[in-house]
A = this chain, B = another copy of it.
Amino acid sequence: MTRLDEKQIISLFQRIVSNRKHTHEDVETFRIGRKFGVLKTDTLVFSTDVPPGMKLEDVARKSVVACVSDFAAKGVRPLYCLVSISIPRSFSRSHILRLARGFRAASKEFGVRILGGDTNEAKELVISVTMFGVADKIVRRSGAKASDSILVTGRFGRTSAGLEIILGKRKSDKKFASLAKRSVYHAVPRLEFGIDAAKYMTSAMDSSDGLSTTLVEMSAQSKKKFLIVKLPADAALDKFARMNNMNPLSLIFNGGEEYEIVITARQKDVIRIKQIAKKNGVPLTEIGHVQNGSGVFLQGHKAPIRDLGWRHFSN
C-alpha cells in the first residue's frame, strides 16, 4: 500500500472530486450576488492534534481557532459557525460540559455565532468546525509583487519548542517554558488585525502549516522569489535551542501550529500595517522582501528553504 502525505491526499482528492485544477486557498469562496460567500471547514482529531495536558475547554477552543485564523489571513470576519463533534463512548457528562463551555467561550472571544451542528459517537474525539462569512474580496495567496515587503505576525518556533517542553524532551528556563507552553495551549489568531490590515496586503496566508510551507506556497502561487533577511524569533528561542543543542532555524521554519499571518505588502504600505498591528497589540516583523524569480531563500544560504512544514501522515 502506498502511503500519501496530507498534501498529496488533498491534491488527489481535489483533482478527482472537482475535476479541475484547484488553486489552494485558506478558505473557499463563491458568489452571492455582488459579494462572496466564504466557507472554511477544519477538523481537529484528538490523537493527532491535541497535545498532552490540554484541557477540553482549550481543545474546543483550538478547533475554533484553526478556522478563525484562516479567515483572519484573508481579511474576512467569520459570522456563523457549525460544530460537528464525534465523541467516544467513554466521555461523561462533565467532559461534554467542558467542551461546550470551550465552544461558548470561543464563540464570545471571536464574535462568531454558533448556529448548531451535529453530534456522533466515534472511537476518538473528532471536531469539525465550519465557518461562514461574507466579503467583497479576499486577500489571496498569489498576489505578491516584486519589491513587496514580507511581514509576519507573532513569533515563530515557540510552539514547537513548547510541544517539546510539554513532552518532557527538552530543558528550558521557566519564563520561556511558560510562554512556549501557552502558545501550544492557547494560540491567539490575529482576527482583528487581519480584518483591519487586509486592504494593505498584496497576498497573505495563515501560517499554521509551518512558516516554510507557508512561504513556499505563497512564493509558488505568486511566481516570485521570497528572500528572508530577518527571523521572526527572539533571543529566548535562540537560548532554548542552544540549551538543547537544536537548530533554531528548524524550530522557526518547520514547526507549525503558529496561528499567525504571513503577509506581503507594498513597501509604502508597511508603515500603515505596522500602525494597525500596534493598535491591535500584535507583534509584527518585517522578515524580507519579494523579488523576481522563484523559491524561498534565507540570506547567506545558497540552498532554498524547502517545503518542510509539518504534514499529517508523513511523520
Please report A residues at the B interface, Cβ cutoff 8 Å.
1-4, 6, 9-10, 12-14, 16-19, 22, 25, 28, 30, 32-33, 37, 39-43, 45, 47-49, 79-80, 82-87, 89-90, 92-93, 96-97, 99-101, 103-104, 107, 113-124, 126, 128, 130, 132, 134, 312-313
List the 10 closest pairs (A to B, CB-CB), nearest first: A1-B92, A128-B128, A28-B115, A16-B100, A41-B82, A45-B122, A130-B130, A43-B84, A2-B93, A28-B116
Q: Are B32 and A32 in contact (CB under 8 A)?
A: yes
Please give, as numbers and ranges, the residues of chain B lying within 8 Å of A89 by CB-CB distance. 3, 313
| Complex A-B: 28 CB contacts under 8 Å | A4-B96, A6-B121, A12-B97, A13-B85, A13-B99, A13-B117, A13-B119, A16-B104, A17-B100, A18-B104, A19-B104, A28-B82, A30-B132, A32-B32, A33-B33, A39-B80, A39-B132, A41-B41, A41-B118, A42-B118, A45-B120, A45-B126, A47-B121, A82-B130, A84-B128, A86-B126, A122-B124, A128-B128
How many copies the complex holds: the figure is 2
Q: Are A103 and B17 in contact (CB under 8 A)?
A: yes
Q: Are B119 and A83 in contact (CB under 8 A)?
A: no
Indicate whether A86 sits within 8 Å of B45 (C-beta atoms), given known contacts A1-B92, A4-B96, A13-B96: yes
Q: Are A119 and B28 in contact (CB under 8 A)?
A: no
Kindly state the separation between the CA atoms of A16 and B96 in the bound complex, as whole angstroms: 10
Please give, as numbers and ranges, the residues of chain B lying within 8 Å of A119 by CB-CB distance. 6, 9-10, 13, 312
Q: Are A37 and B39 in contact (CB under 8 A)?
A: no
Kindly state the separation between the CA atoms of A115 and B10 in the bound complex, as whole angstroms: 12
Q: Are A43 and B86 in contact (CB under 8 A)?
A: yes
- Known: A40-B82, A41-B118, A43-B128; 15 extra A-B contacts, CB below 8 A, are A2-B93, A3-B89, A4-B93, A16-B101, A18-B107, A18-B113, A19-B104, A28-B115, A28-B116, A33-B33, A37-B37, A41-B41, A41-B84, A45-B126, A123-B124
CB distance from A40 to the nearest CB of B (A): 8
Indicate whether A130 sits within 8 Å of B41 (C-beta atoms), given known contacts A100-B12, A104-B16, A119-B312: yes
Please give, as numbers and ranges, the residues of chain B lying within 8 Å of A83 by CB-CB distance. 13, 17, 41
Kindly state the separation between the CA atoms of A283 and B84 in the bound complex, as whole angstroms: 32
Please give, as numbers and ranges, the residues of chain B lying within 8 Å of A86 by CB-CB distance. 43, 45, 126
Q: Are B43 and A313 in contact (CB under 8 A)?
A: no
Please give, as numbers and ranges, the residues of chain B lying within 8 Å of A18 by CB-CB distance. 104, 107, 113-116
